[in-house]
Amino acid sequence: MNIYSQTVTMLEDYFKSSDENTAKARIVFKELYKGKIHSFYDIKMLSESIKQKLSNDFTFETIELLTTSESADTCKFLFRLHDGHTVETVLMKHDYGNGVCVSTQVGCNMDCVFCESGKLKKIRNLETFEMVGQVLYLIDELGIQISHVVLMGIGEPFDNYDNVISFTDIITEQLGLAIAARHVTISTSGIADKIIEYSNRSSFNSLAISLHAPNNDLRSKLMPINKAYPIEKLIAAADIYAKRSNKKVTFAYIMIKNVNDSDECAMELAELLGDINCYVNLIPYNKTRSTSYEPSSKERIARFFDILKKNNINVTVRREFGNDVSAACGQLSADYRNV
Ligand code: SAH
């Protein structure tokens, strides 16, 4: 087992099943993330026999940085995993703090037509420690303070549900990195069943849904996942999440020229979301290597924005990040040759 995959609850269960005091779980977790230990023998408060047992049962294995590409407000990191696969992580420097965009899978099976990340089919899920490693590397090795985490790198977080939930539990834990739960955003292409499962939890992160189209015809063309979970199901699941969590859901909507950016689309979108506690985040489309889509013009985005606003939808336009180093949404591919 990897120690960076363990939530506090998992460690408590571990100590319980070894007939040990579960308070030791909290000591180990704290020493790991606050004390930055890399060996159990560095934990003073534990007996020699427990240190030995922990050392036998857990490894500290993590991910390895291969390359970095930097621009004014973004830095992209390519990491190598233990089996030779690679993933990308993006650091975004906002004026309110640093955000990190974490990958959750090697490749992605969602096959959204506009997205570069899906061109590489899913090879495997990331283990929890491989997601924790992406954040921890920036904090510990590079000394960067991180206030926000978005699960918007390569992969579909809800197609790797259990590991993703452990990851968010670990990074938000007060004894450790203590990143504010509301500053951690899980983004999903719309796996409605998992949104409902997530709604049954007792604590919540922020949830973003990649919507990108206001009706089934268009959405199924852009995002094959819509055939499994059509818009009615997805919106119903989003509503359940919003009500149970008492939080607004964010709907991401990329603006692609002449595809989903008409006045009719805006009106249909307003109609669709009118009763949901939500924000719409309009994202200018980022050009990718393998598609011929173009971004909507600024004027078109402004007009789309106005229509939503007039229909009482909370709407923002997302600032673009990282386009110059192919680190923007949908441009991540973890292709070593293109770095
Ligand atoms: N699979 C999850 C997590 C990825 S988040 C999801 O789909 O939500 C990455 C976001 O960038 C998604 O909203 C995705 O639809 C969007 N995206 C993909 N390609 C893009 C592009 N070329 N330009 C802008 N956004 C893009």
Kindly give the number of the ligand 1 atom that is closest to the alpha carbon of 116.
19
d(CA 308, CA 191): 25
pLDDT of 322 strictly over 70: no
Are 88 and 70 a contacting pair, CB within 8 Å?
no
Per-residue pLDDT, averaged over 4-15, amounts to: 98
- For helices 8-17 and 23-33, the axis angle rounded to 10 degrees is 140
pTM, two decimal places: 0.94
Q: Ligand 1 pocket by C-beta < 6 Å: which residues?
A: 110, 112, 114-115, 152, 156, 187-189, 210, 252, 254, 283, 285-286, 288, 329-330
CA of 218 to the centre of ligand 1 (A): 16
Tokens of 157: 């977080």
Contacts 24+ apart (CB under 8 A), 225-233: 225/110, 225/111, 225/112, 225/189, 225/190, 225/191, 226/190, 229/190, 229/191, 229/192, 229/193, 231/272, 233/192
Give, using CA atoms, the residue closest to atom 11 of ligand 1.
329
Model pLDDT for residues 295-314, shown as the tens digit of each residue:
999 999 999 999 999 999 99
Kindly give the number of the ligand 1 atom that is closest to the alpha carbon of 152.
5
CA of 112 to the centre of ligand 1 (A): 8
pLDDT of 336 strictly over 50: no
Tokens of 290: 């393998």
pLDDT of 326 strictly over 80: no
Give catalytic residue positions. 88, 329
CA of 166 to the centre of ligand 1 (A): 23
Question: What is the model's pLDDT at position 321?
Answer: 61
Per-residue pLDDT, averaged over 89-113, amounts to: 95
Neighbours of 33 (CB within 10 A): 21
CA of 14 to the centre of ligand 1 (A): 37
How long, in residues, is the chain?
339
pLDDT of 113 strictly over 50: yes
- 227-239 residues labelled b (16+ CB within 10 A) or e (exposed): eebbbebbbebbb
